[in-house]
């Protein structure tokens, strides 16, 4: 899948396309920080997903992003930063939590998504097993 990126692109548009391909992953965006310190801290997280890219990046170029499952997470994140000036991080779903993938950035997007599916399938299975043990007193 390939889609266009420019200053008018909204964060939620990118997140929506990303999530269509990788439902157990999410892409979070962070404000451009000229000092480079704490770039991916919670305080720099963009909370308004209707924000356009023009407000959060320092490179104002137009181009395309390709979403390919065989792409490494680190390569994808680096591509966004170097080609579009976008600070973004991939997170993987784990039950009710979202885990930042920094320690597994050498995995592909598909591997991350499959691990998210596996982890959430286990959580759902455990919920069902616990539910089956439940018996109402009479």
Q: What is the pLDDT of residue 138?
A: 47
pLDDT in tens, 68-80: 999 999 999 999 9
Query: What integer pLDDT is reported at residue 32 of this predicted model?
Result: 82
Residue 28 phi/psi, 5-degree rounding, is -110, 145
Model pLDDT, residue 120: 87
Residues with Cβ within 8 Å of 41's Cβ and at least 6 positions away in sequence, in order, are: 30
Q: Residue 39 is encoded by which pair of tokens?
A: 């770039």
**Confidence at residue 129, expressed as pLDDT on a 0 to 100 scale:** 58
Average pLDDT, stretch 91-119? 94
Tell me: the pLDDT tens digits for 33-68? Answer: 776 667 788 888 999 999 999 999 989 999 999 999
How many residues are listed for the chain in this entry? Answer: 138
Neighbouring C-beta atoms of residue 61, cutoff 10 Å: 11
CA distance 4 to 27: 16
Q: Would the CA dihedral through 69, 71, 74, 77 be positive or negative?
A: negative
Give the Cα separation of 3 and 13 in Å (integer): 10
Q: Where are the domains of the chain?
A: 2-133
**pTM of this prediction?**
0.83
Q: For 27-31, what is the mean pLDDT?
A: 95
End-to-end CA distance of the chain: 56
Looking at the chain, the whole-number percentage of residues with pLDDT higher than 70 is 85
Q: What is the mean pLDDT of residues 97-115?
A: 95
């Amino acid at each position: 899948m390939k889609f266009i990126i420019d200053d008018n692109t909204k964060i939620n548009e990118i997140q929506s396309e990303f999530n269509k391909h990788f439902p157990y992953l999410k892409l979070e965006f962070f404000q451009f920080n000229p000092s480079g310190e704490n770039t991916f801290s919670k305080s720099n997280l963009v909370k308004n997903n209707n924000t356009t890219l023009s407000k959060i990046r320092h490179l104002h170029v137009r181009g395309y992003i390709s979403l390919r499952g065989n792409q490494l997470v680190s390569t994808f994140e680096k591509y966004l930063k170097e080609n579009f000036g976008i600070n973004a991080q991939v997170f993987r779903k784990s039950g009710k939590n979202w885990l930042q993938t920094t320690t597994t950035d050498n995995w592909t997007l598909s591997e991350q998504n499959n691990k998210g599916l596996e982890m959430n399938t286990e959580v759902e299975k455990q919920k069902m097993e616990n539910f089956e043990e439940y018996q109402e007193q009479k």
